Amino acid sequence: MIASLKGVLSHKSIDHIIVDVHGIGCSIAVPLSTFYKLPDTGSQVRLVIHTHIAQDAVRLFGFLDYREKEIFQLLISISGIGPRLAINILSGISPEDLSEAISEGDLGRLVGIPGVGRKTAERMIFELKDKITKLIFDPDKIGTGYPGTLVKEDALSALINLGYKSSVAKDAVDKVSAKAVEKLTLEILLTKSLKILSGK
């Protein structure tokens, strides 16, 4: 699973962008909120990535910050909302306005987003009311580049890729997280987890 990409922005359009990573051009769909903040083509860019595996293809969806990726993942957890619609939603409303509309049960505001019908809007309110409000206004996530839950997910993925069993890797990551007295970066979490796994 690709969690992030860093490379040269070789093409950008509203439909998709292409990031050249060591000679390989990666096509990535991004919301307008990310598109408008991208540098000029030829510049270095780093995106956090959601890798969507479908029956016929593997698609990459990119974001400039982890909070927006988390909102995207909340949206696609809802029946009837696929990755493309989730991108459209994030393109049509800011994270703060989306949270407000969902928390206040504002159907009219949600239905006003292209592609969102009444039933989809109702599901968004019912399923996300508590989750998205906590995500948007959690002080531990505001202004940070790496929310703790995502650090743990990426660390666990990295350890599994190194050959450790999922349950064993998760146990090590949870132990390090439980003892943490400061915000963990991915590097610190991996280093301490590997020490536990190696018995040092």
Encode pLDDT of 26-61 as tens digits.
999 999 989 999 999 999 999 999 999 887 788 999
Cβ 72 vs Cβ 38: under 8 Å = no
DSSP 120-163: HHHHHHHHHHHHHHHHHH-TTTTT-SS-HHHHHHHHHHHHHHTT
pLDDT bracket for residue 145 (50, 70, 90): very low
- For residues 32 and 154, give the distance between their C-alpha atoms in angstroms, rounded to a whole number: 25
- Going from the N-terminus, what domains does the chain have, and what CATH number goes with each? 4-63 (2.40.50.140), 66-137 (1.10.150.20), 148-198 (1.10.8)
CA separation for the pair 64, 50 (Å, rounded):
12
Please write the tens of the pLDDT for every residue from 87-122: 999 998 888 888 889 988 999 999 998 889 999 999
